Amino acid sequence: MKFQVEQAVEILSKTPQVLKSLLDNLSDEWTMKNEISEDWSPFDVVGHLIHADETDWIPRAEIILKQGENPTFEPFDRFAQFERSKGKTLIELLETFAELRRKSLETLKSWDLTGEQLQLKGIHPELGAVNLEQLLATWVVHDLTHIRQISTALAKKYAENVGVWKEYLSILK
């Protein structure tokens, strides 16, 4: 599938709705950290998505578009949500994420990016040269990865309860 900003926005705009629909009004047993697992909880993932919208996708795209003297991105703290989400509820995080994403997509759409702009490059501190198209495509796949991660975390809550059907449930493997 050829990358197109409009199609990327189709997925990116749905992520807050998907998460709200999936997680809103679930008990903490479903959404919070399980003491016996190192996996991120759904709460942790939503916090991570907030941090990414605040500090990663649009800020890095702006660095690329400016084509300034130093096109190197600031390192991204993939674990910042653990501190930043303390004291907040999942509902607060879901609302914050929806608002941040709305603003991010307004900014993205306002740029009316050309094919030439999508090929402009920035420097990832670990991966090296990347172009804007790759950054935006990664944003989409990042969202989908974390939707899968949340679904897996929820499914694992009943992993020991499904009995012999575990054999047929790929999400539990």
d(CA 133, CA 94): 27
| Every domain of the chain and the residues it spans | 5-172
Q: What pLDDT, on the 0 to 100 scale, is given for residue 67?
A: 87
Q: How far is CA 61 from CA 37, 47, 67, 101, 138, in A?
A: 35, 21, 10, 15, 12
Window from 34-43, 48-57, 109-118 with minimum mean pLDDT? 34-43
Class of domain 5-172: mainly alpha
Window from 15-29, 32-46, 123-137 with minimum mean pLDDT? 32-46
d(CA 40, CA 59): 25
Nearest to 11 by CA among 55, 44, 57, 51: 57
pLDDT at 12 over 70: yes
d(CA 12, CA 130): 20
**Mean pLDDT, to the nearest integer, of 31-38?**
75
Q: What pLDDT, on the 0 to 100 scale, is given for residue 35?
A: 61
Copy the structure tokens of residue 158.
């009943």
